[in-house]
Amino acid sequence: MEYNWFLETESAEKWSALGLKRRAGIMVPLFSAYSDKSVGIGDFADIDQLVSFCTRTGNSILQLLPMNDTGNAFCPYDAASSFALDPVYLALRHHWIKPEFGFKQRNDKGEDIKVAIEKLRQRFTVKNAHVDYGIKEAKLDFLRQFFSGEPLPSEFYSWCRINSFWLEDYAMYKAIQKKEGNIPWEKWQAPLREKRKEDVSRLGTAHKKEILFNKWIQWLAYKQMSAAHKHAKGNNVLLMGDLPIFVARDSADVWAHREFFNLDFAAGAPPDMYSARGQRWGMPIYRWEEIAAQNFRYICEKLLYAQNFYDILRIDHVVGLFRIWAIPVSEPPENKGLNGSFIPPEESAWEGNGLRILRVMNQATGMLLCAEDLGIVPEACPSVLSRLGIPGMSVQRWMRDWAKTKDFLTSGQYPQLSVATLSLHDTSIWSDWWQNEAGTVDYELFEEKCTTYNISAKNLIPVLFNLENSSPGRLRWKHEISSPEDFCRAVGRRQSEIQELLTLYLDTYMEREKCAAVLGIRQMDLAGREYLKSALMLTFNSPSIFCIQLLLDWLDIAGMLPQGRIFRYNTPGTLSPDNWSLRLPCSIKELEQSDTAEMMREMVRSSGRIMPDEQRAEQSNSE
């Protein structure tokens, strides 16, 4: 396949450095993985084992979710800093807890540091199905107990000077937050809330050790994560990070740079077929004119720091750089994203916005940028990404001819400049989609649309849907409603009178059958796992330059996911302890030693996505 046209885009140098070769990768959140050395949660040192697993299976990209400090919310996309890494991921290994890194070997009670680590490991096991985020406070308490204080290595002070552009504000913010009992900055005492220089300076003197501690743990996080990056590069595995487009309202960024944020609005997404009321994420929207007035320094600095750790960076919700769905903060939370609007409202401004911001970002970093271009995508977005040489997403369950036939796209129809995948961290795994979602409509969304047309959903649902075969919250169409004419007769309205309801029907009716057709499978009674394997190979055989699969889908193919449980990282629009806490059912080492690893390698090899040096090594070994 020819990808030379990538070298005519504005990312030409990056593509030239990476090579125009189809690659395979896996996506796994670090909190989900673990080893026998982990303390309560996967850590930066565990990335080395994930890299080893990648090389074992022929994958040359390891994609991680954001690892920014999340404060107490534990949502990776609601960060307390665009720069600081979360101390929950610090590895407490023997080669990191030495005096030269600022550790005392005994705390004030005389307890040995290695004994304390083992107690912490026993208290926070990795054998539970979900992460206990109490580990974060427990880990911070441990670090405070064994922090030696000054003097620290000269390397530490040099690092602090280099990173002062974000570190000073972050360390002060965390110190004030601790002093104020972890309440949001908007509820702090006025002098601290407004960041009055003399008051903040006075607090800095009074809490010097706490500020130093906050800098120290970020230095440790930097050293550990950059070491993991170096190890990955040495093994020809590219680390792919994730840049949340927004930052939490209660964050060091917003506290320190209020001029960059419009606190009157919360970012979100408009209603769609998966979210009847849309989504309200809560983060403030940007004041782009203020950011531009300072030459986009704030955005460029984020990228400058991130490239210490990653080769590729995924930009979350890239369509928000063109226009953002803004919800007034005065809106009742239960309305979610219903009563928002796009800012800027003029569609004519969207292309210019997206191109300007993305071009600045692309020029500010040596990392290859990728884009999460899902949802309601502005018409200008694909052409801008193509011009800049930034891959978008090709998610198999949504790769369809939406304008005409609604059929699924064949493998050959996938765009070259894209990341092909089956599932995302915000979706169900593929087999759950196949069994419970494909060919269905969201119950709440159907009710909303019926209300719009003054139709009784209660009376209509039994007429249109097979309730016995429906899943909780999902409605499955009756097969006998087999045409738009049948649908309109059942509803009792003309097509022109119920266009949005009819679109729901056309988009989802016979969805499984249409998917089976593109997979080349006709026996609809086959288990979802058989379809999953065919769907995965469809994405692997596509011309998409990258094919990155959720590790959970691989485990599902191999039958390694215990039955009777839901395996999903996040359900958008919901608050649940099950979100962002799901753990893999086995350790990285157990996975690497399983038959699954060889099965993965064979499938990657057969698709031609295994790296040339690995192919040569295989041939050499066989000879």
What is the CATH classification number for the domain harbouring 110? 3.20.20.80
**In what side-by-side order are the strands of the sheet with 341-343?**
279-286, 261-269, 324-328, 341-343
What average pLDDT does this structure show over 482-510? 96
pLDDT at 615: 59
pLDDT of residue 232: 98
The mean per-residue pLDDT over the stretch 371-386 comes to 96
Read off the tokens for 372. Answer: 């999460």
Question: Once rounded to an integer, what is the mean pLDDT over residues 341-350?
Answer: 97
Judged by average pLDDT, the poorest of 250-264, 269-283, 482-496 is 269-283
Structural contact between residues 282 and 339, judged by C-beta atoms closer than 8 angstroms = no
* 1 band by pLDDT with thresholds 50, 70 and 90: low
| Mean model confidence pLDDT for the chain | 94
- Helix crossing, 443-452 with 499-508: angle to 10°? 150
Q: What confidence category does residue 623 fall into, taking pLDDT thresholds of 50, 70 and 90?
A: very low
Clarify whether residues 106 and 197 are in a common domain.
Answer: yes
Contact, 537 vs 603, CB < 8 A?
A: yes
**What is the spatial distance between Cα 599 and Cα 306, in angstroms, rounded to a whole number?**
33
Q: Are residue 444 and residue 578 in the same domain, yes or no? A: no
User: Mind giving me the DSSP string for 576-599?
Assistant: -TTTT-B--SS-HHHHHTSHHHHH
Choose the final residue of a domain: 489, 505, 533. Answer: 533
User: 421 lies in a domain?
Assistant: no
Verify cis geometry, omega within 30 degrees of 0, for the bond prior to 572. no
pLDDT at 284: 98
Has residue 411 got a pLDDT over 80?
yes
Answer with the one of 473, 503, 533 that is the final residue of a domain.
Answer: 533
The distance of Cα 619 from the centroid of its chain, to the nearest Å, equals: 37
Assess whether pLDDT exceeds 80 at residue 248: yes
Residue 238, beta-bridge partner list = 61
Q: String of b and e for 304-339 (b: at least 16 CB within 10 Å)?
A: bbbbebbbbbbbbbbbbbbbbbbbeeebeeeebbbe
Look at the block and give the residue holding tokens 């607090």: 203
Q: Is residue 413 part of a domain?
A: no
Same domain membership, residue 497 and residue 470: yes
CA distances from residue 174 to 106, 183, 547 in whole angstroms, order as listed: 26, 11, 39
Nearest CA-CA partner of 59 in 621, 602, 620, 622 = 602
What is the reported pLDDT for 454?
96
366 & 515 share domain:
no
Percent of the chain exceeding pLDDT 90 equals 89
Confidence of residue 620 (pLDDT cuts 50, 70, 90): very low
**Once rounded to an integer, what is the mean pLDDT over residues 163-178?**
96
Residue 78 has pLDDT above 90, yes or no: yes
Give yes or no for residue 391 having a pLDDT over 60.
yes
Identify whether residues 503 and 455 lie together within a single domain.
yes
Residue 28 has pLDDT above 50, yes or no: yes
- Residues 572, 517 within the same domain: no
564 and 518 fall within a common domain:
no
Instruction: Please check whether residue 540 lies inside any domain of the structure.
Output: no
Same domain, 229 and 338: yes
* Residue 614: band (very low, low, confident or very high) from pLDDT cuts 50, 70, 90: low
547 closest CA partner among 591, 594, 605, 592: 605
pLDDT at 457: 96
Q: Is residue 146 part of a domain?
A: yes
Q: Is residue 42 pLDDT above 80, yes or no?
A: yes
In a domain, 400, yes or no: no
Say if 404 falls within a structural domain.
no
Q: What is the pLDDT of residue 527?
A: 63
In this structure, the answer to whether residues 516 and 604 fall within a common structural domain is no
Q: Is the pLDDT of residue 467 over 50?
A: yes
Residue 403 domain-assigned (yes or no): no
Q: Do 600 and 454 belong together in one domain? A: no
Convert the pLDDT of each residue in 550-589 to its tens digit. Answer: 999 999 999 999 988 889 999 987 888 899 999 999 999 9
Say if 539 falls within a structural domain. no
Domain count, the chain: 2
pLDDT at 618 over 80: no
In whole angstroms, give the CA distance from residue 454 to residue 460. 12
Write down the pTM of the prediction: 0.96
Please give the angle made by the CA atoms of 497, 501 and 503, to the nearest 5 degrees: 105
590 lies in the same domain as 492: no
Which residue reads 């800012």 in tokens?
343
> What mean pLDDT is predicted for residues 7-23?
97
Q: Would the pLDDT of 274 be above 80?
A: no
The alpha-carbon radius of gyration of the chain (Å, integer) is 25
30 three-class SS: coil
Q: Are 64 and 28 in contact (CB under 8 A)?
A: yes
The mean pLDDT value for 253-259 works out to 97
Residue 520 vs residues 479, 530, 538, 558: alpha-carbon distances, Å: 21, 11, 10, 21
The residue among 533, 561, 582 that closes a domain is 533
Tens digit of pLDDT for each residue in 128-159? 999 999 999 999 999 999 999 999 999 999 99
Measured CA distances, 273 to 220, 257, 515 (Å): 44, 36, 18
What digits encode the pLDDT tens for the residues 208-227? 999 999 999 999 999 999 99
Q: So what's the pLDDT on residue 521?
A: 86
Q: Which domain holds residue 501?
A: 432-533
pLDDT of residue 332: 95
The burial of 428, by beta-carbon neighbours within 10 Å (0-12 exposed, 13-18 middle, 19 or more buried), is given as buried
Average pLDDT over residues 4-18: 98
* Among 371, 226, 414, residue whose Cα is nearest residue 305: 226
Regarding whether 371 and 289 lie in a shared domain, the answer is: yes
Rounded to whole angstroms, how far apart are CA atoms 394 and 36? Answer: 35
